Structures are given as structure tokens and as C-alpha cells.
Structure 1
Amino acid sequence: MNWNQLTDLSQLEVIKEESKQQPILILKHSTTCSISSTALNRLERNWKQESVGELKPYYLDLLKYRPISSAIASTFGVEHQSPQVLIIQNGECIYDASHFEISFAELAETVG
């Protein structure tokens, strides 16, 4: 799995534009949380690009970049959670899940 690092607020506008061409996955990850580590591990272990097509994954270390996490919540109209995944398509969040509800199968179904 090839994560794109989300490290700058300006990337949110890039993501919105990219999402008009392909769906975007954002993972908000806390590096000190065991639930977050489990969710990341499950995603990486189950990731099959052929199941998600052109879904482009972004990784946010929300402890280092907390303002970006807050901006994601307000930009895409979702309540902040950690860990949390969002799928962005056509500039809008079409799916979000958090904690143990994060499922590769659901992600694949959403974009499939």
C-alpha cells in the first residue's frame, strides 16, 4: 500500500480537485492509540488495489498535524474521530467510518 502523506492544509484543496477524477481515501491516524494502530494494520494487511480501483490513499498523522484534522472535519462535514477513514469523491465525503467500524470490505464496496 502506497500512502500519500497529508502534511499541509493546502493539500485539502488538491484532494478535492483530485476527487473529481478518482476517489480519495483519507486515514486519520493517531500514532499513540492502539485502536488506531489496529485499524491501520487491518487496512494495510487487506489492501488489494484491484478491489478499490483508482482509490488514492492519504495518511494523516493527526498528532503532528492536528489543524489539518480539524480542517478535514469542517471541510467535509464530518465529526472528528480517531482513527477515521473518509472517502472523498467529487469534492464531498461519501463515506466515513471510525474505530473498529473501519473495514476494507466496506471501502471496496463503496468505490466498487
Structure 2
Amino acid sequence: MVTMTKMTTVQQLNSALGASSDKPLLLFKHSTRCPISSRAHQEMETYLQGTPDENIEYGIIYVVEDRPVSNEAADRLQVKHESPQAILIKDGEAVWHTSHSNITAHALHDHLT
């Protein structure tokens, strides 16, 4: 089963962004204080438990608990911070992103496979 790797340090984020040259990375920015984010997290889990693209790495940033990592992701990727938010990264650059109620298992499947 595919799982999301928790990104807790800027160094870990930087390594994952660098590795996106070999394997794309989908980052999910999640707020544990937001009901919309909770629904989006459930949609991510539904996608991952279905038939996810196994040629993609999946990471999760808890935006409240790991704010420096979340801020660094927004700065490095030049994607305005939102939460919840899903960002697909290839070669260290954001190539697709969406947020809030647009994060559904169906949308993820359509954009990632």
C-alpha cells in the first residue's frame, strides 16, 4: 500500500524536492484544525487505498505543526499557500496544484494517472 511520508524538516522537504527529478512528488498540505482539510485528507486516503500511481512519491506537511516546512514549500515552489492543498512536483517545480474541496479521489486519479 502506498503511504504519505510526513515532512517535518526543511532538509527532508529539500531532499524530496531534489528526488522529484527521478520520481514525481505529490505534496499534501494538511491543517489538523480545519474540517475542509479533514475531508480532503480522507479523499487522499481514499485515493491511496484505491489504485494510486505507484510511480509517484507522496508526502504530507502538517501546516500548523510544521509551519517552517509549509512556508518553505510555498516559497520554493512559488505556489501560494492554501490548506488543504495538493501540489504535484516534477524536477523540483510545481506542475499542478489544487486546494480545498477540489481535492477529491477522482480529481487525484485524473491528474496523477
Query: Under a length normalisation based on structure 1, what TM-score does the superposition of the two structures give?
Result: 0.89
- Sort the Cα spacing of 1:13 and 1:49 in 2 relative to 1 into closer, same or farther, 3 A: farther
CA distance in 2, matches of 1:29, 1:48: 18
Partner of 1:54: 55
> Does the alignment pair 1:105 with 2:101?
no
Identity across the alignment (%): 29
Per-residue deviation, 1:54: 1.2
Report the residue type matching 1:65 in the other structure.
D
Matched-pair contact (CA < 8 Å) for 2:3–2:48: no
CA distance in 2, matches of 1:38, 1:3: 16
Partner of 1:12: 13
Report the residue type matching 1:96 in the other structure.
H
- Unpaired runs of 5+ residues, structure 2, are none
The CA RMSD measured in Å over matched residues stands at: 1.6
Matched-pair contact (CA < 8 Å) for 1:25–1:86: yes
CA distance in 1, matches of 2:73, 2:53: 22
- Unpaired runs of 5+ residues, structure 1, are none
> What are the superposed Cα offsets for residues 25-84 of structure 1, whole Å, 9 maximum, x if unpaired?
111100011000000001102325744131111111111111111111110010000100
Partner of 2:37: 36
Matched-pair contact (CA < 8 Å) for 1:25–1:56: yes
Report the residue type matching 2:65 in the other structure.
K
Per-residue deviation, 1:109: 3.2
